[in-house]
Structure 1
Amino acid sequence: MDTLPRSRSSTGNTAPRAVSNSFRPRSVTTGPRVEVKVGAPGPDKPLMAGPSETPPSLLARSAPTLSPLALEAIARVAFEDRLERALGPATSIDAVLEVAGRAMQAAELGGAGIPAPTELLLAHPRTGKFSQVIEVGPEGEGPGCPAAATGGCEALRTGRTQVYDDADAFDACPNLRDREAGPCSAACVPLVVLGDAIGVLHRTGLVGTPPSSLAVAQLEALGGRLGTRLALLRALDAPAPATLDRATGALDRPSIEARALELARSLVPFSLAQCDADGFEDYATTFGHETAERALRTVATAAREILRPDDLVGRFGEDELLVVLPETSAGECQRALERLREHLSLTLTASGLPPLTCSYGVVESSLGRSLDELLVAADAAVALAKDRGRNRVVVARENMLDEYPGVA
């Protein structure tokens, strides 16, 4: 079962924090940020496995005879070799992100051997909106770039690494200014694959001391490999082409479920609602099966007319539709469905069909750890709507199944 893991708060250590490719979004309005601690390196858990003759020991012996540029080149190549070994067995997005978190922590450390504030922002494949998926820093906190989407990122706009000595400089990226932590230096490394923006690696430092050329080179090596691997895994994990339900013209059940899971895996918060036709069996008996199917098709058409182009409408059962609204809170979804109730009544009348109403159960994606849990909560809300008289919208609450256990 695809899970939407719950967030865990920082414990104040320096271990990188990463999210998996299944999600439980924390917030609808600000975008999801699920935090799962990646274990800190230690004697039993090295950052990245390597041979017994490690590059650092080689560097220590060679340091007196090599120039700084040569030492930097050796360190860069050593990091890239370790990165290749670590990514080799990583065959899932979860595994790749875990390696990325450790590599971000292993990249040249800041003062006193503490990882410099670094974060990985990934872009949604369709909307381009950013989500912070890994953060590393002295207190486990990343720099906290406020860029909302790829269009607001200078590194992605230019397709080149950007290094800034001072956030207050007139030519510095606007996203660096007025941060809570105060002025800083920064480096931003874009992740771009075949022209597609995958995300950005962002590291900050003290004013006047931006990340070193070695740190930037290591982040660029990580960004290149990470972008390519994530793009490949996303392509392999992409849902099959959507198919439609012939009777209603809406997505069929496998397609609407796949789209909801795709939103969750892409860190997009959403609300979903079950729309259950009231007394549909009696309606079909009274007016005939063909009329009943026309009425349900009219419900699906009315939903597509009222909802936004990116919202999803699918047939979920004999008398049920499922609607999925990305980037939408439960309250916003409820208001949209209230408009649908009114529009449906007018549309049925205009089509010459007998009146038919629906009961709606709304649930926000943050309320469940899996799609199954969300559907159970929506079903409970539908049952409550019918108990209250039908033809109404009910929003699921966290304790609804305890209060209304008949559906679970």
Structure 2
Amino acid sequence: MAIEIEPLITENDRAVARANVRRSSRGSTLGGVFLVALTDAVASLLAVAFVPHLGTGPALAVAAFAVALTTPLLFGISRLATTRAIREGAASAANERRMVAEAHRREFETRLANELEMAEGEPEVLDTVERALAGTLPGARVEVLLADNSHAHLARMVVSSPDAEPPGCPVNSPDECPAARRSQVQRFDDSDALGVCPKLRGRPQGRCSAVCVPVSIMGRTVGVIHTTDAPNAVFDGARVQDLQTLANQAGARLGMLRIMAETQLQAATDGLTGLLNRRSLENKIRALRNEQTSFAFAMADLDHFKALNDAHGHETGDRALRLFAQTLRTLLRDDDLVGRYGGEEFAIVLPGATSRDAADALEHVRVTLPGHVRRAGLPDYTASFGVVEAAIGEDLEAVARRADAALFHAKRDGRDRIVVHSDHGMHEEHNGASQAAGNGHHPDRELADAATPHS
């Protein structure tokens, strides 16, 4: 796509200046004629006065000759003055045009920066980008492709088009995009020409021209603003600058939001397992309380974790914790909350669930865990669970104490089981005694080990 970079003084500037000179010189035409006539009269009088011996006729002839010599000079001077006036007028018009364009750019940058600064998340940033594109390139097909957090895949995040159809860039990763690889604006006049991006060819709309503006976040190119038009279409250079401004400011805001989100995530999650940390989990439970949402609460603990750590090393212990966390996330519902409470102890919150619902869900986790452990190549280990149903208005610490007491009973009664604490006392919902016997475990020995129940 040909990018129209306007010269300092354009033909339009000259045309405006010529029109202005014509308007201002309409009253001066008669003045010019009068000046010529006056020159003729003055020359005649001077000839008669200073050359009296020639007579009137020859004196008038001398005067006419003088007029013939001076008239072209006067018109030449007038033409030079007109040309200079046009040149100065054109320069003035060009300067005014540049001032208007610069004012437009500053206003666009300011408004865009203000709105992006108010955006609290990526969806709001992308909405601003879409509206800015519609105003910058009305009637054009434009799309914004951005990489995901892995920076390996591009996704179409914004489309601005009168028919809702995107330009259809097929690149799948930043490495496939020339603009992203080079971190430079790329302009292509004709998709069928030599030396253009091969991704422009073979599109349903046929031949096209294109402009691609890279989007960078924290110095790394992660996407592109892509627009197409008819082959050899002229694209206003000022609009390219607006696209660059949009790419730069949107990239900067997205980068800031991602850093903030990452920082918040690090502050809210456990570094080893990626689960919520204790503080974050308790904050979410308080939010459930404020919303008057009922929930079941469970404490989980890996059985004989200290022995596993001592026998196989802390790295194996860390792998065991991560695997258990992954198993919980995989098998529980998306809206269930899972957090690491400390050490090998985990807390699970199941909104809207009864204690029986929670016990059934955790039984699925309990019986699935051994298979995950074997596939991961880890030493065999199991988990015990204590489950309660939070009463309305019950203090969070009281809920946790009851769940911890149920977990204590699960450990004391042989581990690898689920114990529910209710108004009717403790009762066991599920256990792995038969499974443990089949695997060579000895429940009686584990009962003897229950002197240290949280192990």
Report the TM range for the smaller structure's normalisation: 0.3 to 0.5
TM normalised by structure 2 equals: 0.44
Larger radius of gyration: 2
TM normalised by structure 1 equals: 0.48
Larger RCO (alpha carbons 8 Å, 6+ apart): 1
- Identify, as 1 or 2, the structure richer in helix: 2
